[in-house]
Structures are given as C-alpha cells and as structure tokens.
C-alpha cells in the first residue's frame, strides 16, 4: 500500500474517532432523551463507516458484512428507542 | 500489499476517504453546536448520505481495481441506509413533537389529530354531522 493511501486512511480513522467522541459528548450531556437517541444513531453510522474503511485498509471484503449488520442493528435499536419515547411501549 | 495499484486509483480512493472524513466531522460539529433539537436533527443526515456515499464509492473503486472485476456488493449499504434513515428520523421527530407538547412547549405547532382538539371544536363537528 502506497504512503498516500495509508496516510489518508489513518487520517480518516482519526477524524471518525473525533466525530464519535463529539457525538458521545452529546449523548452524555444532551438536554432531552431524543438528543441522546439521535447522537447514538449517529455513532452507529460512524462506526459502520469506520469498519468499511478498516476493510479497505486490510483489503478484505469480510468487513463489509460486519458493516451491514451494524447498519441493521443501528436502525432497529434507534427505531425501538424512538417508538419507546413516542408511546411508552416498544410493541403494543 | 503484494499488488501495487495504479496511482490514479489510489488518488481517487484517498480523496474520497478524506472527503467522507470532512463530511463526518462537520456533522459531528453541527450535532454539538446547534441550539435546538429540531436543528440538531439535520447534521446526522450529512454523515448518512455524503459520508457513506463517499466511503462506498471508494470501497467499490478499490476492490474492483484490486480484484480486476466489478465488485458492487458494497452498494447494499447505501440502499439499506437510504431506506432506514428516513424512518428513524420521522420516528424521532414525532417523538420529539409529542414529548415537547406533553412538556407544554408552546413554540411547537398544534397537533393535527382530532383527539387533541379543544372540546368546542368537537361539539361543532357533532352538530354538523
């Protein structure tokens, strides 16, 4: 792997980590519950992108399936938490 | 890495990755700095559209060049995100409206549902019918 690609991959991973930390600050501080759910959903999406970039780094397409699973679980958990905030129950 | 890629492929992949990182950083800054919840609902869309499109295109270019054939399966992630992200945003927005009205926030628009109308309107409706 050439230095151009490896440096840009490391830069991307570091910026993703910074973005996740900023969103974590919003999760911990967020004035209302829906702010926390929104920031958790954002952390899920950034984690999925991080795994895709790591898959490019190691030139393996196995990481793609893990990213797909994380995207699915992120959607299910965020939808369940939003439904709970809306109705007080997840399944009625 | 045993096989060297052409320079233009690496340049395209690297610039797409850096672009996605910048999208993601601006989304996180917006999530931290904006004032109200309904303003804060917008920045995560930047990560789930721009950032994920850039990473997916970079992944497609990289693996297609690495294996010598077209690898489009990473496209599934874009399709999945474009279906699921609006659903989450709608549910969260409705939850925020509901909770804001319960908390007595008068800056929110009134509900369209007839159950939450004041009683005098309901009486007029029954007279007409």
Q: From the list B47, B62, B99, which residue is nearest A45 (CB)? A: B47
d(CA A26, CA A35): 7
How many domains does the structure of chain A reveal? Answer: 1
Q: From the list B14, B56, B59, which residue is nearest A5 (CB)? A: B14
In a domain, A64, yes or no: yes
For residue B107, the distance in angstroms to the closest alpha carbon of chain A comes to 16
In a domain, A21, yes or no: yes
Q: Residue A38 is part of which domain span?
A: 3-87
Sign of CA dihedral B46, B47, B53, B55: positive
The interface predicted TM-score of the complex, written ipTM, equals 0.89
pLDDT of A73 higher than 60: yes
d(CA A3, CA A12): 14
Question: Cβ contact (<8 Å) for B80 and A33?
Answer: no
What is the CA A21 to chain-centroid distance, rounded? 11
Lookup result for tokens 């294996």: B67
Look over chain A and give the mean of its residue pLDDT values, rounded to a whole number: 91
The nearest alpha carbon in chain B to A51 belongs to B55
pLDDT of B51 higher than 80: yes
The pair phi, psi for residue A89, each rounded to 5°, is -140, 150
Write the CB contacts of B26 (distance below 8 Å, at least 6 apart in sequence).
B43, B46
Q: From the list A9, A12, A42, which residue is nearest B47 (CB)? A: A42
Lookup result for tokens 């303003």: B39
Q: Helix (H, G, I), strand (E, B), or coil: what is residue B72?
A: coil
Q: What is the H or E stretch that residue B56 is in?
A: helix B52-67
Global pTM exceeds 0.95:
no
pLDDT of B129 higher than 50: no
B81-115: buried (b, 16+ CB within 10 Å) or exposed (e) per residue?
beebbeebbebbbbbbbbbbeeeeeeeeeeeeeee
Write the CB contacts of B84 (distance below 8 Å, at least 6 apart in sequence).
A71, A72, A75, A79
**Chain B positions in Cβ-Cβ contact with residue A7 (cut-off 8 Å):** 14
Question: CA geometry: angle at B74 spanning B69 and B76, to 5°?
Answer: 130
Write the CB contacts of B33 (distance below 8 Å, at least 6 apart in sequence).
none
Q: pLDDT digit string (tens) for B65-121?
A: 988 888 888 999 999 999 999 999 999 999 998 888 888 777 777 777 656 555 555
For residue A18, the distance in angstroms to the closest alpha carbon of chain B comes to 7
In a domain, A92, yes or no: no
What is the CA B66 to chain-centroid distance, rounded? 31
d(CA A45, CA A14): 16
**CATH code where residue A15 lies:** 1.10.287
**Stretch A42-54: mean pLDDT, rounded?**
95
In a domain, A75, yes or no: yes
């Amino acid at each position: 792997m050439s230095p151009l690609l490896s440096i840009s991959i490391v830069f991307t991973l570091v910026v993703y980590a910074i973005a996740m930390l900023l969103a974590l600050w919003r999760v911990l501080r967020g004035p209302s519950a829906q702010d926390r759910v929104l920031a958790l959903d954002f952390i899920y999406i950034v984690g999925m992108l991080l795994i895709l970039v790591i898959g490019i780094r190691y030139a393996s397409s196995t990481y793609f399936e893990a990213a797909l699973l994380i995207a699915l679980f992120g959607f299910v958990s965020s939808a369940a938490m939003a439904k709970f905030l809306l109705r007080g129950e997840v399944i009625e | 890495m045993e096989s060297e890629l052409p320079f233009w492929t690496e340049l395209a992949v690297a610039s797409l990755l850096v672009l996605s990182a910048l999208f993601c950083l601006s989304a996180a800054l917006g999530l931290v700095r904006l004032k109200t919840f309904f303003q804060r609902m917008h920045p995560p869309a930047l990560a789930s559209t721009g950032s994920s499109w850039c990473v997916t295109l970079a992944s497609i270019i990289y693996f297609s060049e690495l294996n010598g054939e077209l690898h489009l399966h990473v496209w599934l992630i874009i399709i999945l995100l474009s279906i699921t992200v609006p659903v989450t945003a709608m549910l969260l927005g409705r939850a925020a409206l509901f909770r804001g009205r319960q908390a007595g926030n008068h800056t929110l628009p009134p509900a369209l549902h007839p159950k939450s109308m004041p009683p005098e309107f309901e009486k007029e409706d029954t007279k007409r019918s």
